[in-house]
Chains A and B, each alone.
Chain A
């Protein structure tokens, strides 16, 4: 058996030391080429070394654990006693982080950090709810403004006279308190007056003396009819309660 194949077999056996088939194959390979036994010993020592440098628990029954390790290593390694001694020395030389850390204090430190994190999350959650509410209000206001500015020309405007500016209107009619009455009790009118092209052209060119230069802008008006809202509000209230 080639060295690399044998090494792979040893590694597989170290992964599964209870695997009898792997142990048999190793034994057979070593019988055929005795120098391979030395190779296995090196791997077993390496394995013991790595295991020994891990962090041991302080409350382990060390005597029993040592006995267990010695038995395991003796079973695995032909070198027997020597390897067990090496393990013991290596185990004693391990960088024992278990005894170097104040675990309760470290745990308290971590708990405090987590509690602080939880508090941050709660604050962030409240802040997010407030922002959502504010955003919803702002969106509603923006929608209202957009509706007002971008008001389409939905009503037939009266035919303009000479020099008159085109007007778009939309109105919302509020019924009277009595549903049977066909006439509306009031009217909310949104009116949009489109720019006067000639005047605004002059204004843009800075030639209109009364107005500062600028882009022609439509003008929007919000009108209530009739001027006395008492009846309208009463009818709207009655309408809303139905």
Chain B
């Protein structure tokens, strides 16, 4: 007797986009499930603040949903969303500098202050290494400050490529520039960071 094993095929992004366009809300929920972490992570690296990152992530999903019909290549939903996140995050920085409005998303952040303090107070380096005595909190702050001081394109290229580890072609697509330009931005960003973080390297 032959047995058949039924396997549930995981829908591709393109299938989910088409279903969402056809009005199936659960399909877009699945896209949120797939991309919310990465989108928030990119926004966090570009903004350095988890509240702001969640807000940008939320705006990006809403915009994506509103303009889903304009997405020509459905399989490219991820890079398309991350492009929106990147642009929103860069604009958000400008708005924040100008004293823009903030929406509270505090309820989605789990860690209490005590846990956070304990985690951040942990030493970042052993005694024998450069930067010994630096706490994780200090190090995170220093790294984020150094990232913040980079020009927008260099920061975005470094975050997307070196930190989020997206392929260079996708980064180029997101930043709407050539792959060579991405390499150049990443190189320039690394040089500047190496100078600014010299005490910790």
A90 to B142, CA, bound (A): 12
Cβ-based interface call for B25 (8 A): yes
Given A12-B183, A82-B129, A101-B109, 14 more contacts at CB 8 Å?
A49-B200, A50-B163, A55-B40, A89-B125, A90-B139, A93-B120, A93-B135, A93-B136, A97-B53, A98-B37, A100-B109, A107-B32, A110-B32, A114-B29
Dominant secondary structure at the A interface: helix
A42 to B129, CA, bound (A): 13
Chain B residue at smallest Cβ distance from A107 = B32
Please report which residues of chain B, range 28-86, place their CB below 8 angstroms from some CB of chain A when the two chains form the complex: 28-29, 32-33, 36-37, 40-41, 44-45, 50, 53-54, 58, 61-62, 65-66
Given known contacts A49-B197, A118-B25, A43 and B125 CB-to-CB distance under 8 angstroms: no
Contacts from B to A (Cβ < 8 Å) = 23, 25, 28-29, 32-33, 36-37, 40-41, 44-45, 50, 53-54, 58, 61-62, 65-66, 105, 107-111, 116, 119-120, 122-126, 128-129, 135-137, 139-140, 143-144, 158, 161-165, 168, 183, 186-187, 190-191, 193-194, 197-198, 200-201
A 71-108 to B, binary, CB cutoff 8 A, 1 in contact else 0? 00000000000100110011011111111111101110
- Pick the residue among B61, B116, B191 that contacts A7 (CB under 8 A): B191
Given known contacts A49-B200, A107-B33, A114-B25, A15 and B126 CB-to-CB distance under 8 angstroms: no
**Residues of A within 8 A of B (CB-CB), count:** 47
Contacts from A to B (Cβ < 8 Å) = 7-8, 11-12, 14-15, 41-43, 45-47, 49-51, 53-55, 57, 82, 85-86, 89-90, 92-103, 105-107, 109-111, 113-115, 117-118
- Total A-B pairs, Cβ < 8 A: 150
